[in-house]
A and B are shown apart, each in its own frame.
Chain A
Amino acid sequence: MDIFGSINLWVLLASLMVAATPILLAAIGELVVEKAGVLNLGVEGMMITGAICGFAVAVESGSPALGFLGAAVGGAVLSLIFGVLTQVLLANQVATGLALTLFGLGFSALIGQGYIGVRPPAMPRLDIPVLAELPGLGRVLFRHDVIVYLSIALVAGVWAMLRYSRIGLILRAVGENHDAAHALGYKVVRIRILAIMFGGACAGLGGAYLSLIRVPQWTEGMTAGAGWIALAIVVFASWRPWRALLGAYLFGGIAVLQLNLQAAGVRIPVEYLSMSPYLITILVLVIMSSGRSRAALNAPASLGKSFHAQG
């Protein structure tokens, strides 16, 4: 199936899934954090920390799987700084998040000094036999690395957790009205810190996907703004997991498509086309948010507010 002459739609779909995976991982983590009523703008810092932690662990141990584990731990530990500052010491979340990004970029570069120009161990691709050979769909659905599947599973898991489980209910209660949740006996601070650490671990995984699979190498500043896009995707998705998947794939899709159009020699003004992913994201956002009531926007009511238990 071809569009614009020579671009194969199936191939485009397969490559946009790969392109979107780091953003998706970070976004789904941040979604949980925001559902708990916390706005962590430090996603970029946690991603880059995950990227170097994962890289270092994978290189030292020779195992990409351990690397991803290390990335999740690294991201979670960094996010714990944010958790303690905002939840225990009641610091402003926006400022702390930005500080976390600044710190993460510097810190990761310090750890990474010894890893420049090193090639990490390769992650085997998980081609599912028979199915991978299907024309079209086989390439899209069954010929990826395990992390791509993990990211989709994570979306499904978060969706089910928020919708059906008791944990999801508590999480939403804390995010909607922390005073009421506290009155009901939930440990607001503890729940929020756990959510923040989950977000940090996911962002770390997203960063490691870049440094271990997508690129794969370590260079300073290699996330190049992906964390900010992940934040945008969460709002874009109006805090719904499947929409976050859609948003990440849409963003990845437009980014990949503009490069494909260039490669196919379609005559387009390149310098303006590279703005298109951002402009189209804004446009879709406007369409989705217009003509709806505030409730439909689904923003957690306590988002970004500090919680201090009285009495």
Chain B
Amino acid sequence: MIRLIKRPTPSRFWTAATPVLAVLLTMIAGGLMFAALGKDPVAAIRTIFYDPLFDPNFASYSRPQLLVKAGPLILIAVGLSLGFRAGIWNIGAEGQYIIGALCGAAVGLAFYPAEGWYIFPLMVMAGALGGWAWAMIPAILKTRFNTNEILVSLLLVYVAQQLLAAMALGRMRNPQGGGFPGSRNLSQYPAASNPELIAGTGMHWGVVAAFIAVIAGYILLQRHMLGFQIRLSGQAPRAARFAGVNPARLVVFCLGVSGALAGLAGLFEVTGPAGQITIDFNSGYGFTAIIVAFLGRLHPVGILLAGLLMALTYIGGELAQFMLGIPSAAIQAFQGMLLFFLLAVDLLSNYRIQLGRPEVA
């Protein structure tokens, strides 16, 4: 008989060891899957986890790309984790990401072709405000009408996607683009671009913002009264009420912060790596960030590491596709397995496993 005994506090050893264990388990299970597909499992695992970091051909390029890919994931996930800790479920970061990009791009395009140091900061503000405003819709409906925020934030993703298509084809279409859909390329408009800050490092303002968010998130949760209220509301909602936490204000705060950060991520992406508004400019960062938030155990530092790990599987997965001919579907299934194992072994940090009969009934 196997029994689970809840630990009074999470085990420090297992908190650190479980991610390693999960990655090892995924390598075994994934290797079996690759072998079943007729691919060399060892080569596949090496290509996904090792080559992007250490292969002489790719590493100097891929390592900075890890930051580029992980930046928006981390930025969004840190924001989401605040709400998730308080039991406020913003599933619609993807929509806030789109609206942030649209608002920021609109400001930049309105100034085109003016030059000025103030344009990019204004765009950043517009991006954050756009994401914030989009998140305020579920927040206000929740506090005013008690409408479920999971549903509203999710449905608004679809609305944002349609809006994005309408904008890319309509009002934001590049007038010099020969009628093709898509806006002007913002990364080629110096006053509005978000360039690589130090050549060859992948660092752009979005990555900087992600690091700031991690630090700010850490301070907020560990040192600030608001962080305490957030944690308390998640763990013991009744106690939180007695402690004087205003649930409505918490909803507005958590959704607002996560929306603003998602909006910022969209803005930095559209002005930098992506470059322009296109019909399907969004590539699922908002949804992947939810997974990243949980993989990081809703802890800012954990999210940083989880974001980098996810980015590694994306980049390594692409290498595996063209180096070894592994279909992208297998990579997707592999990522799913990694998540399953991470979630499963998390048990070990919160519970002790006991074999045999309980000592005390």
Listed in ascending order, the chain A residues whose CB lies under 8 Å from chain B are: 41, 81, 85, 89-92, 94-96, 98-100, 102-110, 113, 220, 225, 228, 231-232, 235-236, 271-272, 274-275, 278-279, 281-282, 285-286, 289-292, 294, 297, 299, 308, 310-311
Nearest 4 Cβ contacts at the A-B interface: A103-B336, A106-B332, A95-B294, A109-B329
User: Which of B48-56, B58-66, B161-169, B217-225 forms part of the interface with chain A?
Assistant: B161-169
A110 to B155, Cβ gap below 8 A? no
A102 to B339, Cβ gap below 8 A? yes
A81 to B152, Cβ gap below 8 A? no
Query: Which residue of the partner chain B has the closest CB to A293?
Result: B146
Q: Known contacts A110-B327, A290-B146, A311-B361; is A285 also within 8 Å of B152 by CB? A: yes
B334 to A228, Cβ gap below 8 A? no
Q: Mask for B133-173, Cβ within 8 A of A = 1, else 0? A: 00000000100111110111011101100110110011000
Question: 17 extra interchain contacts, Cβ-Cβ under 8 A, other than A92-B343, A110-B333?
Answer: A85-B344, A91-B347, A92-B346, A95-B293, A106-B328, A106-B331, A106-B336, A109-B329, A113-B327, A225-B158, A235-B150, A275-B159, A275-B163, A278-B156, A282-B152, A289-B147, A290-B144
Across the interface, B343 reaches (CB within 8 A) one of A85, A105, A236, A274, namely: A85
| CA of A4 to CA of B209, assembled, Å | 51
A98 to B290, Cβ gap below 8 A? yes
B154 to A232, Cβ gap below 8 A? yes
Closest chain A CB from B56 CB (angstroms): 30
B294 to A92, Cβ gap below 8 A? yes
A272 to B162, Cβ gap below 8 A? yes
Chain A residues whose C-beta falls within 8 Å of the C-beta of B169 in the assembled complex: 271
Chain A residues whose C-beta falls within 8 Å of the C-beta of B4 in the assembled complex: 90, 308
Query: Which residue of the partner chain A has the closest CB to B361?
Result: A311
Chain A residues whose C-beta falls within 8 Å of the C-beta of B331 in the assembled complex: 106
List 7 contacting pairs A-B, 8 Å CB cutoff, sorted by A: A95-B290, A106-B328, A106-B333, A236-B151, A271-B169, A279-B159, A281-B155
Chain B residues whose C-beta falls within 8 Å of the C-beta of A110 in the assembled complex: 37, 327, 329-330, 333
B162 to A102, Cβ gap below 8 A? no
Q: Known contacts A94-B294, A282-B152; is A102 also within 8 Å of B350 by CB? A: no
CB of B351 within 8 Å of the partner chain: yes
A103 to B343, Cβ gap below 8 A? no
Closest chain A CB from B82 CB (angstroms): 15
Chain A residues whose C-beta falls within 8 Å of the C-beta of B158 in the assembled complex: 225, 275, 278
| CA of A100 to CA of B145, assembled, Å | 32
Q: Known contacts A98-B287, A290-B146; is A106 also within 8 Å of B89 by CB? A: no
CB of B201 within 8 Å of the partner chain: no
B146 to A220, Cβ gap below 8 A? no
A103 to B162, Cβ gap below 8 A? no
| CA of A99 to CA of B350, assembled, Å | 21
How many inter-chain residue pairs (CB < 8 Å) link A and B? 149
Across the interface, A106 reaches (CB within 8 A) one of B335, B347, B350, namely: B335
Listed in ascending order, the chain B residues whose CB lies under 8 Å from chain A are: 4, 6, 37, 84, 89, 91, 141, 144-148, 150-152, 154-156, 158-159, 162-163, 165-166, 169-170, 287, 290-291, 293-295, 327-337, 339-340, 343-344, 346-347, 350-351, 358, 361
Q: Known contacts A103-B336, A282-B156; is A289 also within 8 Å of B89 by CB? A: no
A308 to B327, Cβ gap below 8 A? no
A103 to B6, Cβ gap below 8 A? no
A106 to B330, Cβ gap below 8 A? yes
Across the interface, A231 reaches (CB within 8 A) one of B154, B293, B328, B339, namely: B154
Chain B residues whose C-beta falls within 8 Å of the C-beta of A102 in the assembled complex: 291, 332, 335-336, 339
A285 to B343, Cβ gap below 8 A? no
| CA of A232 to CA of B153, assembled, Å | 10
| CA of A100 to CA of B294, assembled, Å | 14
Closest chain B CB from A212 CB (angstroms): 21
Closest chain A CB from B95 CB (angstroms): 10
Across the interface, B146 reaches (CB within 8 A) one of A100, A232, A292, A311, namely: A292
Q: Known contacts A85-B340, A107-B333; is A94 also within 8 Å of B290 by CB? A: yes
B151 to A235, Cβ gap below 8 A? yes
Interface centre among B154, B162, B336 (most CB of A within 10 A): B336
Query: Which residue of the partner chain B has the closest CB to A281?
Result: B155
B147 to A106, Cβ gap below 8 A? no
Chain A residues whose C-beta falls within 8 Å of the C-beta of B351 in the assembled complex: 90, 308
Chain B residues whose C-beta falls within 8 Å of the C-beta of A107 in the assembled complex: 329, 333, 336
Query: Which residue of the partner chain A has the closest CB to B162?
Result: A275
| CA of A96 to CA of B294, assembled, Å | 9
Closest chain B CB from A126 CB (angstroms): 33
| CA of A271 to CA of B181, assembled, Å | 14
Q: Known contacts A98-B291, A286-B141; is A297 also within 8 Å of B151 by CB? A: no
Chain A residues whose C-beta falls within 8 Å of the C-beta of B146 in the assembled complex: 289-290, 292, 294, 297
B343 to A220, Cβ gap below 8 A? no
Closest chain B CB from A285 CB (angstroms): 6
| CA of A107 to CA of B334, assembled, Å | 9
